[in-house]
Amino acid sequence: MFAMLLIAAIVPPEPSDVHAIELARATAPYVSYTRDGRAFAEFAPTVETRNVSCKLHHEAIFDCTYDVRTKDFLGSDFTAWLPKAARITFRDNCWQIVSSE
């Protein structure tokens, strides 16, 4: 019974989780903070991801491959799709990149 619960707890990141990671990575240089410490990005780029595939690497660490493209805040066109690979784990109540390949 315990083994089944453990296996059920190890679920790979969803495509929306990978999108959120890429969005955070792309907007990081644009982040400013309010006086009370809240983060915001006023002129952040738009990010799209597709073809997300994640496989278990070790324990709760997943190797994910996907395509990503961005569009600048005032841009009219997206950049070309770029293939990416990242090792992702669930830590501190959110999905985080362990390392990129």
For residue range 47-93, what is the model confidence (pLDDT) as tens digits? Answer: 999 999 999 988 889 999 999 999 998 888 999 999 999 999 998 88
pLDDT band at residue 8, thresholds of 50, 70 and 90? very low
Give me the domains of the chain, ranges plus CATH numbers.
2-100 (3.10.450)
Is the pLDDT score of 6 beyond 60? no
Return mean pLDDT, the chain.
Answer: 87
Which pTM was predicted?
Answer: 0.80
Contacts of 60 (CB under 8 A, 6+ apart): 10, 89, 90
Is the pLDDT score of 3 beyond 90? no
How far apart CA 10 and CA 87 sit, in angstroms, is 15
pLDDT of amino acid 10: 75
